[in-house]
Amino acid sequence: MEGLLLVLQKHPGPSVFLFSLIFRGVHRLLQRLPQPKVVVQDEFRSWEWRNLSVSMVHSLLTGPWALACAVTWPPEMLNELHSYHTPSSYLLVCVSTGYFVQDSADIILAGHGRGSWEFLVHHALVIPTFLYALYTRLYISTVVVALFVEVNSVTLHLRLLLKRAGATSSTVYHINKVINMCTFIIFRLCSQLYLTWYILRRYSWLPHASFFLAALMAMNVMILVYLYRLVRSDFILHRAGKSRAQDKNSKRFVAD
């Protein structure tokens, strides 16, 4: 692992590019898997299904990985998120950055940038932040905590896949939406709030703190908007029986 870390640290840009190609290969492999008939009949939904499937692979890989990194940290690590990192955590950030580069390229090259603009805004905030961490070797652990959100992304992507498959009335969907809300609050909202508090508390002496704080504040707004949408879609509109009609007519990548 130490040898791999040295290679990655010497060539972070090419390393990220390599991992983006690997995720592109995963995208190609997932094209061979069968899709629900309701998805195959629509070109946009077919592409969206493949894109979400790659995102699911990324979340299943990086979410548990980020938690494993945190579990192995010494207790005092929480006070040194800006300076501490391990070979495993550095590799994790390389892998995740590669995914976000690949996903941005996939959205743009597929011609769905307008319907997926919220994802592109998210990636535009994430990629420079992650690359800064890789090149300076600072804030690596901060990024790892930020990747706790991928635990929630597993249930979030499953929610969208079930909706696209027309399975919103299934037991799996109803169980998942409750788990999704719990993981959203614990791994997405709480981790984001902790990082915001961490940067604010040390703002006066952390290097380039304004850059990270600006990105965090923008992400905080997006997370609160997503939280509102989840509550509205799964716990308000769903009870009123309106969500199916919305899903059927929506051509936006990020739908309620």
Decide if 243 is inside a domain: yes
CA distance 204 to 202: 6
| Domain span including residue 114 | 2-249
Domain count, the chain: 1
Contact 90, 5 (CB under 8 A): yes
Flag whether pLDDT at 33 surpasses 60.
Answer: yes
Decide if 256 is inside a domain: no
The overall pTM is greater than 0.85? yes
238 or 77, which is more confident? 77
What confidence score (pLDDT) does residue 78 get?
Answer: 81
Decide if 54 is inside a domain: yes
> Could you read off the pLDDT of 144-197 as tens digits, one per residue?
999 999 999 999 999 999 998 888 889 999 999 999 999 999 999 999 999 999
Tokens representing 1 are 């692992």
Decide if 224 is inside a domain: yes
**What would the mean pLDDT of 13-19 be, rounded to a whole number?**
93
The dihedral through the CA atoms of 217, 223, 229, 235 has a sign that is: negative
What confidence score (pLDDT) does residue 253 get?
Answer: 47
Residue 252's pLDDT band (boundaries 50, 70, 90)?
low
What confidence score (pLDDT) does residue 256 get?
Answer: 47
Decide if 75 is inside a domain: yes
- Contacts of residue 218, Cβ cutoff 8 Å, sequence gap at least 6: 125
What confidence score (pLDDT) does residue 1 get?
Answer: 62
Decide if 181 is inside a domain: yes
Decide if 255 is inside a domain: no
Decide if 254 is inside a domain: no
